Structure 1
Amino acid sequence: MTKKRLFRMPLRPYFTLLFVFILISSCLLATGLVVGGLLWFNQGQWDRNHLILALLLTCALTIGFGALTMWFGAYRLTQPLIEMNQAVIEIAKGDFSTQIHRSQTSRKGYPYLNELDQLSLNINHMALDLGQLEAMRRSFVSSVAHEFKTPLTSLSGIAELLQEQDLPQEEKKELLSLLAQETQRLSQLADMILSLSRVENQTRLAKDDLIRLDEQLRQAIILITEKWSHRTIEISLDCPEMTLLSNANLLMEVWINLLDNAVKYSKEPIDISVKVRKSEAGLEVVIADKGIGMTSQELDRAFESFYQADASHKREGSGLGLAIVKSIIQHLDGSISLTSQVQKGTKVSVFLPTGV
């Protein structure tokens, strides 16, 4: 069955035609009554008083007809606005399931919806978006609480153990080491949340740093190699000398997060390649590893806040790295995509405009 095409006349011509119709109809009605009255008067069947009465009646009928027609037109205009106002009030109260249902008329060959219908659709879309944002907010708050609760519980347990008087010195050193690790984990988690909040809350980012991309990538590789110095890592870089206009600090955060993930989810010996290719539209940075990879379900959720493909949490991390990376790339007018195969590795492709 073919879908009916929707049609509504735009409001401006609709009311223009309505007013013209009222004017013409009122004039015709008045003219007919006046002419009829004059004919009767000329035939001697009406006197002066009858003529005045007829004219007054004509005016009353004309005004009544015009008022009735105007009321109908005003009702057609204000009723949808009343419905929309009520819907917006419900949405403002937090009921994001509210939807405006408009009865549609169909006319062959006309796909047009008038301004009120477009506004209704926009309000419906807004309500759905707000509902999704509210669900994401609740999930985010729940995840933050969970992520903070785990190290805080550990810290509380360690503190209780350290209060014991007869605790062996060796065990005390081990507990202090765990205390330092959990404290560092809390600090890193707080830093990641602040980074995500900082990026999300900036409507406009400064993108006027002239960056030597090859040098920045080398610096990121050195930092990651030093961080994971206890592991066997080989990171190859294939990047010709090139520059771009962007935000140097945020872009460095992108490379650090992506390389850190590549190392974190790879088994030794770790082999990572970084390749950069330039085109007329911009440049593409591809970071590929030979790590544990991800399933299609994990790929779909990879950019969600606090999501970790390693459900057991054996690998340290907050699950915020890729969420921060995606937010930064979008703010820099770029795009990011992931491809992955289980036990074969993951490839991250970042596209950026050069701006020069």
Structure 2
Amino acid sequence: MKRSIFKGMLLVSVLSLLACAVLIMDVLYGYFDKQANEELHQQAASIARGVESAGISYFDGFQTPERVTWMTAAGTVIYDSQADVSQMENHSDREEFAEARDTGVGEATRYSSTLAEKTIYYALRLEDGSVLRVSQTQYTVLTMLMGLATPVTIVLLCGMLLSAALSSAVVKRIVKPINAINPEQPDLDADYEEIAPLLRKIHTQNQEIADQMQTLKKQQEEFRQLTAHMREGLLVADSSGQVLSWNQAVLEILGVPEPSDTRNIYEFNRSEPFRLAVEQALAGQPAEQVLSLGQRSYRLLASPVQEQEAVTGIMVLLLDVTEQEHREQLRREFTSNVSHEMKTPLTAIHAIAGMLVQDVIEPKDVKKFAGDIYHESSRMIALVNDTLRLSRMDEQAVTEQKEPVDLYDLAEAVIARLRMAAGEKQVSFSLTGTHVMVSGVYSMLEEMLYNLCDNGIKYNHEQGTVTVSVLAAGREGVLMVQDTGIGIPPEDQDRIFERFYRVDKSHSRAIGGTGLGLSIVKHTAAYHNAQVQVSSKPGEGSTFTVIFPETLEC
């Protein structure tokens, strides 16, 4: 309090002194400035009359504290009382000269930041068109204030000392009865009427605190135990199921408004998993359930809080496991699809092998059936390799290092590998564009482009075409594969990159493949921070575009 009063009094004193000083300086400076301007005008008019009557001879023996300059109508200096006219430049660009030449009278003020001075110029146009200028140098307000720094500082110091002495005396008198108050037993007959309500409130609160202390200590200990392992949504209830505490997360998860008073825990959620977990926890046994709320899944953990083998309450935690459940579902689907895809070739191999063992195949047909075994086993090997490759990409376990890869050269190599397959299908290849360098794993990019071009052949018509384009769009590299095949329906275009997803299962199995080609394309593009776009119309063909975010200099 003493410090606050001292600061307040000191601030008032300083501001008052400064305000008075500024006001006085402003009034005095304005007055003297006006007087100086009037004197300058009179001096200029007097000199102008003398010059018009006597000419240049008027300045013989001429002395004045003001600086006098006489200039021709063109701005050439004829006379200057303080400088050699031969060394002076033309003054036609001076503000006061131009104004006087045009209107008869000109004024200007210029400041010197280095000398903290200002110069007032007053110019008159004479009858012959020449211009007479009289100037006077004055100190600025800042210079005058700096001159008063010492006396102002002394006055401020005196004000500070006086404020300190007064505030110390006032504070001691004010705080003496306040310091004498006993918070445990306040004297209601206070010296100051202003603090009597405060003393009565302290007395009332002391009584309430005394009544609640024991209860508060017990609740604090229970709360500490119940919230020790809180992670996400939290509900704390007593042994009767009345909620003692909750957090904002549980209200958002369960979609309930913030309760205004104590509520039963079943009012937060009435689903069967929630009820079973709570009942089991109240019986003294930990419980775990999965709670589905809209599109989200939550693991519900209900734990009893026991004291001397008696359940005093329960703690319910809700943990968001939506992503975990989604990954588990994908794992199950993937396992099921892999098993299904491998079952078909294994069944064929098993059947043919059984026929061979039973010797029911004619010798002339053995080669044909051996070829079927070779074809089905190759299909299984391709499926296993693709599955392992996707697994490594999922786990970011790619061992190859990235290197500069020319997409145009890569496209030429892939097309060369597929020339024979394209010829058998009577599909022609074409390559357009330019050389574009990107940073990537060559084998992965090669397989990505191979899968796109291979699909362009498999799902094409006879006499169809597959066009591979390599382009540079600013800093981006674009790899485009366009075919004239059967196309993809709009409703399937968002799912074709899913593992084992086939638009036409009968057609896809007839032409072979593992069903993982486009999934490998998507994962390869993601590994290289690239984007895959597809544009297709049934019966007109498809265009797959891979956009790399950054290219290298060739």
Matches of 1:84 and 1:348, distance apart in 2 = 45
Q: Residues 114-193 of structure 1 correspond to what in structure 2 (within 5 A)?
A: 126-165=320-359, 167-193=361-387
Give the secondary-structure state (helix, strand or coil) at the position aligned to 2:210.
Answer: helix
Give the secondary-structure state (helix, strand or coil) at the position aligned to 1:325.
Answer: helix
| 1:101 has 2:254 as partner | yes
| 1:352 has 2:539 as partner | no
Larger relative contact order, structure 1 or 2 (CA cutoff 8 Å, min sep 6): 1
- Tell me the residue number matched to 2:523: 327
Q: Is the 8 A contact 1:206 1:246 kept in 2?
A: no
Matches of 1:166 and 1:302, distance apart in 2 = 42
Q: 474, 479, 489: which is aligned to 1:285?
A: 479
The alpha-carbon distance between structure 1 residues 132 and 153, as it changes in their structure 2 partners (threshold 3 A), is same
Q: Is the 8 A contact 2:485 2:541 kept in 1?
A: yes
Give the secondary-structure state (helix, strand or coil) at the position aligned to 1:339.
Answer: strand
The alpha-carbon distance between structure 1 residues 245 and 172, as it changes in their structure 2 partners (threshold 3 A), is same
| 1:36 has 2:36 as partner | no
Specify the code of the residue in structure 2 equivalent to 1:257.
Answer: N
| 1:314 has 2:535 as partner | no
Deviation at 1:227, TM superposition (A): 4.3
Q: What CA deviation, in whole Å up to 9, does each residue of 1:17-50 have, x standing for no partner?
A: xxxxxxxxxxxxx9654213897xxxxxxxxxxx
Matches of 2:255 and 2:397, distance apart in 1 = 35
Specify the code of the residue in structure 2 equivalent to 1:272.
Answer: V
Matches of 1:271 and 1:62, distance apart in 2 = 91
Q: Is the 8 A contact 2:530 2:546 kept in 1?
A: yes
Q: Is the 8 A contact 1:204 1:331 kept in 2?
A: no
Q: 222, 225, 230: which is aligned to 1:81?
A: 230
Give the secondary-structure state (helix, strand or coil) at the position aligned to 1:263.
Answer: helix
Specify the code of the residue in structure 1 equivalent to 2:485.
Answer: G
Structure 1 residue runs without a partner (length 5+): 1-29, 40-53, 87-98, 107-120
Q: 202, 207, 220: which is aligned to 1:71?
A: 220
**Percent of pairs with identical residues:** 24
Deviation at 1:304, TM superposition (A): 0.7
Give the secondary-structure state (helix, strand or coil) at the position aligned to 2:535.
Answer: strand
The alpha-carbon distance between structure 1 residues 268 and 220, as it changes in their structure 2 partners (threshold 3 A), is same
What number of residue pairs does the alignment pair up? 285
Deviation at 1:163, TM superposition (A): 2.1
- Tell me the residue number matched to 1:61: 210
- Tell me the residue number matched to 1:271: 465
Specify the code of the residue in structure 1 equivalent to 2:530.
Answer: G
| 1:257 has 2:408 as partner | no
Q: Is the 8 A contact 1:205 1:332 kept in 2?
A: no
For the aligned residues, what is the CA RMSD? 3.7
Deviation at 1:310, TM superposition (A): 2.2
Give the secondary-structure state (helix, strand or coil) at the position aligned to 1:165.
Answer: coil
Higher share of residues assigned helix: 1
Structure 2 residue runs without a partner (length 5+): 1-180, 191-202, 236-251, 260-295, 299-317
Give the secondary-structure state (helix, strand or coil) at the position aligned to 2:187.
Answer: helix
Specify the code of the residue in structure 1 equivalent to 2:185.
Answer: V
Higher share of residues assigned strand: 2
Q: Is the 8 A contact 1:207 1:332 kept in 2?
A: no
| 1:208 has 2:402 as partner | yes
Deviation at 1:336, TM superposition (A): 0.5
Structure-1-length-normalised TM-score: 0.69
Specify the code of the residue in structure 2 equivalent to 1:61.
Answer: A
Specify the code of the residue in structure 2 equivalent to 1:305.
Answer: R
